[in-house]
């Protein structure tokens, strides 16, 4: 996975030809959520995420990040409004738009080895064993776990378990990867490494990624766009493009543009939280 070069979102040496805008992958149309107990988790949200974009949802606990992601995934229904996937109503397109969800907990089957854990979605889909095994081996290589197929999850570090979880998400060849604070439980060094590897996967697999985090640094490092959210009530307050000519590697983390964006997001979150209190 680390053999590929790091991404540069804008190549400074090449004038940018005007690109036709990519088609929408996800459209959230005035979707809001009130839970059955009366909690207003999310005010109406309007949001378009285009094919191939890497978008983060950033905000404090309780601002509705998970709620929005679960609505996109179809795990919960909006109370009002609707969602489209690849220009079709999400409820219709659900079956044929490959979409994967990666949670904070790796949620691996402890009694099954890494290979079988990653193969699970293919087994459930009825993919023939030989074909499934080949795909599992390919994906384990992609996430740097090719030597660990026979190992049980408990023998792996937290970071490696999360790689297994990502591999299981990617084995179905999704177009859209939804990630809910996937690296939140990991130490910072491991998290930074997985962030970098995720960018490689995003680029290689031409994924559309929606990534939930409450870390400003992680959002700046990863995203082309950051959707800033605030709590009480949960809502979207800003939509910020992270544009840089720098390659997103460790040097980027200590660069002036990185600091600039981190400060901008910090100020935005602070202002939004002040608004909530008043």
Closest CA to 176 of 84, 268, 76: 84
Q: What is the DSSP letter of 144?
A: T
Beta-bridge mates of residue 231: none
Cβ distance to ligand ADP smaller for residue 144 or 184: 184
Of 2, 10, 11, 35, which lies in the binding site for ligand ADP, with binding defined by CB under 6 A? 35
Cβ distance to ligand ADP smaller for residue 58 or 156: 58
Tokens 């995420």 locate to 49
Closest CA to 242 of 255, 27, 230: 255
Of 78, 149, 159, 234, which lies in the binding site for ligand ADP, with binding defined by CB under 6 A? 234
What 3-state DSSP class applies to 134? helix
Beta-bridge mates of residue 80: 32
Of 28, 31, 63, 272, which lies in the binding site for ligand ADP, with binding defined by CB under 6 A? 63
Cβ distance to ligand ADP smaller for residue 3 or 61: 61
Cα-based angle 206, 210, 215 (whole degrees, multiple of 5): 125
- Binding of Mg ion by 244 (CB under 5 A): no
Alpha-carbon torsion 232, 236, 238, 239, what sign? positive
Cβ distance to Mg ion smaller for residue 143 or 177: 177
The full 3-state SS of 168-203, as one line of letters, equals HHHCCCCCEEEEECCCCCCCHHHHHHHHHHHHHHHH
Tokens 């720098």 locate to 246
Q: x/- contact string, 65-84, with Mg ion (CB under 5 A)? A: -x------------------
Cβ distance to Mg ion smaller for residue 66 or 100: 66
Of 1, 29, 34, 39, which lies in the binding site for ligand ADP, with binding defined by CB under 6 A? 39
Q: For ligand ADP, which stretch binds (CB under 6 A), given 11-19, 64-72, 200-208, 245-253?
A: 64-72
From the list ligand ADP, Mg ion, none, pick the one residue 3 interacts with, judged by a Cβ distance below 5 to 8 Å according to partner type.
none
- Binding of ligand ADP by 56 (CB under 6 A): no
From the list Mg ion, ligand ADP, none, pick the one residue 35 interacts with, judged by a Cβ distance below 5 to 8 Å according to partner type.
ligand ADP
Q: For ligand ADP, which stretch binds (CB under 6 A), given 37-45, 98-106, 128-136, 261-269?
A: 37-45
Of 19, 37, 256, 278, which lies in the binding site for ligand ADP, with binding defined by CB under 6 A? 37
What 3-state DSSP class applies to 57? strand
Q: For ligand ADP, which stretch binds (CB under 6 A), given 3-11, 33-41, 182-190, 262-270?
A: 33-41
φ, ψ of residue 207 in degrees (nearest 5): -85, 155
CB atoms within 10 A of CB 164: 25
Cβ distance to ligand ADP smaller for residue 65 or 119: 65
Output helix, strand, coil percentages for the chain, rounded to the nearest 5.
35, 25, 40
Residue numbers of the site for ligand ADP (CB under 6 A)? 35, 37, 39, 41, 59, 61-67, 234
């Amino acid at each position: 996975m680390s053999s590929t070069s790091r991404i540069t979102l804008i190549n400074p040496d090449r004038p940018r030809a005007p690109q036709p805008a990519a088609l929408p992958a996800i459209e959230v149309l005035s979707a809001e959520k009130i839970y059955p107990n009366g909690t207003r988790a999310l005010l109406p949200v309007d949001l378009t995420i285009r094919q191939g974009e890497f978008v983060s949802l950033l905000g404090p606990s309780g601002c509705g990040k998970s709620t929005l992601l679960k609505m996109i995934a179809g795990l919960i229904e909006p109370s009002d409004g609707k969602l489209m996937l690849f220009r079709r109503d999400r409820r219709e397109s659900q079956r044929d738009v490959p979409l994967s969800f990666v949670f904070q907990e790796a949620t691996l089957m402890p009694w099954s080895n890494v290979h079988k854990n990653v193969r699970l979605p293919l087994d459930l889909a009825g993919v023939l064993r030989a074909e499934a095994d080949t795909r599992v081996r390919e994906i384990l290589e992609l996430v740097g776990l090719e030597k660990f197929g026979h190992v049980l999850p408990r023998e792996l570090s937290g970071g490696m378990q999360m790689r297994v979880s990502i591999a299981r998400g990617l084995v179905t060849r999704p177009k859209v990867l939804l990630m809910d604070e996937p690296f939140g439980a990991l130490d910072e060094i491991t998290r930074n490494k997985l962030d970098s590897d995720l960018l490689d996967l995003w680029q290689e697999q031409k994924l559309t990624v929606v990534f939930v985090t409450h870390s400003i640094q992680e959002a700046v490092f990863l995203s082309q766009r950051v959707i800033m959210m605030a709590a009480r009530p949960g809502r979207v307050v800003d939509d910020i493009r992270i544009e840089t000519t720098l390659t997103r590697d460790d040097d980027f983390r200590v660069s002036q543009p990185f600091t600039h964006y981190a400060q901008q997001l910090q100020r935005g979150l602070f202002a939004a939280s002040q608004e909530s209190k008043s």
